[in-house]
Amino acid sequence: MMGEYHRYTVRKLIFIVGCTISMFLVMGFALTIGSSNISFVEVYQTIFNHFFNPDAVNPDYDWAIFTIRMPRVLGGLIAGMSLGVAGAAMQSMMKNPLADPYTTGISSGASFGATLALGLGITFAGIGGSLGLVLFAFVFSLVPAAVIILVSSMRSTSAATMILAGIAVMYLFNACTTLIKLGLSDSSLSAVFQWSAGDLSSVTWTGCEIMACFTVVGTLILIMMSKKLNILITGDKNATALGLDAHKLRLILLVLISLMAASVVCFTGIIGFIGLVSPHIIRMFLGSDNRYLIPASAAFGAVLLMVSDLIARVIIAPTFLPVGVITSFIGGPIFLYLLIKQRKSVW
Amino acid sequence: MKVELKDLDFGYDPSRPVLKDVNYTFEKPEFICIMGPNGVGKSTLVHCINKILKPTGGCVLVNGKDNRDMKLKELASHMGYVPASSEDSFPLTVVDTIMVGLQNDTKFTTSEDDLQKVYDVLNLMSIEHLAMRNFNELSAGQHQKVVLARGIVRMPEMVILDEPTSNLDIRHQLEVTRILSELPKQRNMIILMISHDINITAKYADRIIMLNGGNIYAVGTPAEVLTKENIRIVYGVDADVIEVNGRPHVILNSAIKEE
């Protein structure tokens, strides 16, 4: 009988490996899209030569891939991973299938910060332009989490308290953002809209590096904490009886998830749906064990965001659509289809 | 294993204590049931023992050590817990659900030893056929057996159960209570269960603690505690108590009108 459990585990591992391979294949395909005609194989040859055989590098291909295309594609991969992982962890931590990385008001804080920077031309520590926007969005996206921690320390760190405190802060920030928008010029308003719709076109190598730091560290910590998350989904009383301080754990997770999501949202704007839907789609195939759910959501979130961005780039080329629009257009129908076809009850 | 309640007090509001000066010692492997009317402090009492709640006065000593000085993990190594109803939000398979009960003891990956413990408890509860089913696809009876299995999978020295049979039909109530009643002898455990079913408790319990007014009103064997007088005073119910197979059996007549 135990053999059945082993086979079940192996199937889950194969699924994760499949998702990871798909992630790299989609990345390779995404790198073929652009004005220079570079084939799928040439993309991988160029990447290999860039790192391991510099003498054989085709400089035109290398420039097109590493300078022009890679930041955007890699940015999509990292942001998708981060949002997928943060969504899976947030849903387990809040014991709520509607939770996503933005549940605690991160997006509204980031929007406020970006609107301030873009609209009012306020600089951060003397830094203006796009870096000023990134810093403002990052700092303000963490304010809601700080408020939740403050409220939780005074009252309780139950999932419901956290969600309600997040909603209160979200409304407050949205109101502030609306007030600022009323006084903005058309061009500033357009820039605010572009940012808030989610966009990977402005992601730079520096942005990728910063996002990668938060994503890799955060994902590894969350995978290591995945058994604790499994305990948390059984309820706070049960978790306490099993030796886990549910309140403390929830605060640690809140900080970790907020940092991961904030590091993404400040570079890409608000990309919805990935963090909400990726974990649910994975649950349909793998179940809710966070040891498998978190790595699989990372790979699947990356695939979903890169595919969405691909479509955003080509559907009305040469104009780009905001990727946030496409994630919803793709993710929504896929999710509805799976909901209808799903035989097992997942929630 | 020795758990001592010493002058235990608890109150959500200091002016209205739920528990007052509760003193008792759990020592022998026994099947002990806590009974009493709603709101009398049964769940509060067990939650003070396993540190889900912190007593406002007195203390709980576990093997001579104040449970406030024990880390949750240390306390959990001695005690299992089965809540009144499962709050599981995202379902795992039955094996994984029970595995959660082991998780603070185990490494990241699932070892053969962990899996063997899970399958042992599945066999004990006669639910091995449910092993790979999703937890939320089970009936209420199966559901409760799985939660129970999760509470005892580590085979701790003491297991606390908060009305584990409240959602079950009479067949499953009898079956689950019988399994629990056998654990003290089979596994040398103290089983402490809150129960509202007076006759199932009378049939299986080694000892009954009857709470009233935030304190222990009566304690002893079912025959000593389940008397006509005690039931009238504690529950406000007129009942007759007869003997069936050497155990008391309560025939409920009517609720006594409150004056």
pLDDT tens digits for range B174-188: 988 999 999 999 989
Alpha-carbon gap: A68 to the closest alpha carbon of chain B (Å): 41
Nearest Cβ partner for A238 among B81, B112, B119: B81
Contacts of B115 in chain A (CB under 8 A): 2, 5
- In percent, the amount of chain B with pLDDT more than 90 equals 73
Q: Are B176 and B200 in contact (CB under 8 A)?
A: no
Asked if pLDDT for residue A342 goes beyond 70, the answer is no
Secondary structure of residue B257 in the 3-state scheme? coil
> Would you call B103 and A241 a contact, using CB atoms and an 8 Å cutoff?
no
Binning pLDDT at 50, 70 and 90, where does residue B62 land?
Answer: very high
Nearest Cβ partner for B75 among A5, A243, A291: A243
Asked if pLDDT for residue B208 goes beyond 90, the answer is yes
Global pTM value: 0.88
Contacts of B131 in chain A (CB under 8 A): 1, 4-5
Per residue in A287-329, pLDDT (tens digit) is: 999 999 999 999 999 999 999 999 988 887 777 788 888 888 8
Per residue in B76-132, pLDDT (tens digit) is: 999 999 987 777 778 899 999 999 998 766 677 788 889 999 999 999 888 999 999
Contacts of A5 in chain B (CB under 8 A): 95, 110, 115, 131-132
Q: What's the CATH number of domain A2-341, 1.10.3470.10, 3.40.50.720, 3.30.465.10, 3.40.50.300?
A: 1.10.3470.10
Q: Are A180 and A120 in contact (CB under 8 A)?
A: yes
- Give helix A290-314 / helix A205-224 axis angle, nearest 10°: 160
Alpha-carbon gap: B52 to the closest alpha carbon of chain A (Å): 6
Contact with chain A for residue B88, Cβ under 8 A: yes
Residue A19's pLDDT is 96
CA distance linking residue A296 with residue A12, whole number of Å: 9
Contacts of B71 in chain A (CB under 8 A): 243
Q: Which amino acid is at B250?
A: V
Nearest Cβ partner for B100 among A224, A231, A283: A231
> Would you call A241 and B71 a contact, using CB atoms and an 8 Å cutoff?
no
Please name the fold of domain B3-78+156-255: Rossmann fold (3.40.50)
> Would you call A1 and B91 a contact, using CB atoms and an 8 Å cutoff?
no
Structure tokens at A150: 């403050």
H or E segment at B241? Answer: strand B237-244
Per residue in B2-26, pLDDT (tens digit) is: 999 999 999 988 888 999 999 999 9
User: Testing the interface with A: which of B43, B81, B90 to mutate, by most A Cβ within 10 A?
Assistant: B90
Q: Which amino acid is at A126?
A: G
> Would you call B132 and A345 a contact, using CB atoms and an 8 Å cutoff?
no
> Would you call A5 and B103 a contact, using CB atoms and an 8 Å cutoff?
no
Q: Are A298 and A226 in contact (CB under 8 A)?
A: no
Alpha-carbon gap: A9 to the closest alpha carbon of chain B (Å): 10
Contact with chain A for residue B74, Cβ under 8 A: yes
Q: A residues 273-312 near B, CB within 8 Å?
A: 283, 287-289, 291
Alpha-carbon gap: A341 to the closest alpha carbon of chain B (Å): 17
Residue A197's pLDDT is 83
H or E segment at B233? Answer: helix B228-235
Asked if pLDDT for residue A185 goes beyond 50, the answer is yes
Residue ranges per structural domain of chain B: 3-78+156-255, 89-155
Please report which residue ranges of chain A form alpha helices under DSSP H: 2-30, 40-52, 59-62, 70-94, 106-120, 129-154, 159-182, 186-196, 205-224, 226-232, 236-241, 246-268, 274-286, 290-314, 323-341
User: ipTM, 2 decimals?
Assistant: 0.86
> Would you call A291 and B90 a contact, using CB atoms and an 8 Å cutoff?
no
Nearest Cβ partner for A241 among B52, B128, B137: B52
Nearest Cβ partner for B132 among A4, A92, A226: A4
Out of A4-8, A205-209, A336-340, B193-197, which region has the weakest mean confidence (pLDDT)?
A336-340
Q: What is the DSSP string of B95-146?
A: HHHHHHTTGGGS-SSPPHHHHHHHHHHHHHTT-GGGTTSBGGGS-HHHHHHH
Asked if pLDDT for residue A195 goes beyond 90, the answer is no
CA distance linking residue A154 with residue A160, whole number of Å: 14
Residue A343's pLDDT is 59
Residue ranges per structural domain of chain A: 2-341
- Residue given tokens 């999932």 in the structure block: A159
Per residue in A114-160, pLDDT (tens digit) is: 888 877 776 555 444 467 777 888 888 889 888 888 887 776 667 88
Residue A128's pLDDT is 45
